[in-house]
């Protein structure tokens, strides 16, 4: 006599015990820890702090060059004129000021016609400046503040640090996903949504804002060492705030500090930058 075999639906399955739910979480957390402990290290050239990164300098530079070539192939590159000469002049002064951080970089700078107020520096020293940032920068010193900030992101290897942090976070998230795999779709969606928001607002965004603050500070050191008055950076961020018309998300939801926070931290760091500036220009009254 044959007996029917009933396959229980997901709703019929008994819920996993806490012990069984913890196993994949702990396993993937241990794997994330292993990846962190065996990751490449880099030394912050300004503070001596040892940081963990996802890529070797050679890997970073190769990716930076690839991205740079792709951007230029899709952009209208300006190769002459006063704006072009300005950008090249600022880059030529800032590059030596990066010191140990920029050692081994092959610095290149390109001005592209783009109305977006933006500039960036890719790993290995490939700088792209949009024409749209020039009206906000206004002066050579203002542009030096913009470019110094972006160059600091590259010399401090912020991209490789963020890549590692994101990879570790995703690894732990996978462990949680496995632990709730027996739940209904709606339950899984709720749990993973809450966890994702927690990781975003509690881990990834604060990490990014810390990098922005560090790039602001190291960027004005580069300015100062190149002979640009670092106090011009405060005016730049005031103009950036005006250009944005106050349209900023709450700071905890943003990858960047608010303009007000940036200005406060720059002013707090300014005495150190001014020391470097006085050394670069030879001191003197009013400096």
CA torsion, ordered 207, 236, 273, 250, to nearest 10 deg: -30
Phi, psi of 53 (to 5 degrees): -135, 160
Alpha carbon distances (Å) from 24 to 38, 171, 191: 21, 11, 15
State the pLDDT at residue 282. Answer: 86
What's the rounded Cα separation, in Å, for the pair 78 and 240? 24
Q: Which residues of 173-184 are buried (b: 16+ CB within 10 A; e: fewer)?
A: bbbbbebbeebe
Gap between the Cα atoms of 181 and 16, Å rounded = 10
Type and span of the H or E element at 57: helix 57-73
Reading phi first (left if > 0) and then psi (alpha if -120 to 50, else beta), residue 130 is in beta
Residues tagged active-site = 150
The per-residue pLDDT for 15 is 63
Per-residue pLDDT of the chain (287 residues; tens, 9 = 90+): 443 444 445 555 556 666 777 888 889 889 999 999 999 999 998 989 999 999 999 999 999 999 999 999 999 999 999 999 999 999 999 999 999 999 889 999 999 999 999 999 999 999 999 999 999 999 999 999 999 999 999 999 999 999 999 999 999 888 888 888 878 778 877 877 877 777 776 766 777 889 999 999 999 999 999 999 999 999 999 998 888 776 665 554 566 788 888 999 999 999 999 999 999 998 654 45
Strands (E), 4-64: 40-43, 50-53
Distance, CA of 233 to CA of 142 (rounded, Å) = 6
Q: Hey, where are the domains in the chain?
A: 18-281
Alpha-carbon distance of 17 to 201, in angstroms, equals 29
């Amino acid at each position: 006599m044959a007996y029917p075999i009933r396959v229980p639906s997901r709703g019929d399955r008994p819920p996993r015990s806490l012990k069984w739910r913890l196993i994949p979480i702990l396993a993937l957390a241990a794997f994330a820890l292993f990846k962190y402990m065996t990751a490449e290290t880099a030394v912050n050239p300004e503070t001596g702090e040892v940081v963990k990164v996802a890529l070797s300098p050679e890997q970073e530079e190769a990716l930076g060059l690839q991205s740079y070539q792709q951007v230029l192939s899709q952009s209208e590159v300006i190769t002459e004129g006063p704006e072009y000469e300005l950008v090249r002049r600022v880059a030529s002064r800032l590059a030596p000021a990066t010191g140990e951080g920029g050692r081994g970089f092959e610095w290149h700078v390109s001005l592209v016609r783009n109305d977006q107020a933006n500039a960036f520096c890719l790993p290995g020293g490939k700088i792209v400046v949009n024409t749209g940032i020039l009206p906000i920068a206004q002066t050579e010193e203002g542009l030096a503040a913009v470019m110094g900030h972006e160059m600091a992101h590259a010399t401090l290897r912020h991209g490789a640090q963020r890549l590692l942090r994101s990879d570790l976070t995703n690894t732990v998230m996978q462990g949680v996903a496995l632990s709730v795999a027996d739940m209904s779709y709606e339950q899984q969606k709720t749990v993973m949504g809450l966890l994702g928001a927690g990781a975003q607002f509690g881990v990834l965004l604060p990490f990014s804002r810390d990098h922005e603050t560090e790039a602001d500070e190291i960027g004005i050191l580069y300015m100062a060492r190149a002979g640009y008055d670092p106090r011009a950076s405060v005016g730049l961020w005031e103009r950036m705030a005006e250009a944005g018309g106050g349209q900023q998300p709450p700071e905890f939801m943003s990858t960047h500090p608010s303009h007000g926070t940036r200005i406060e931290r720059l002013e707090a760091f300014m005495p150190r930058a001014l020391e470097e500036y006085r050394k670069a220009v030879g001191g003197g009254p009013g400096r």
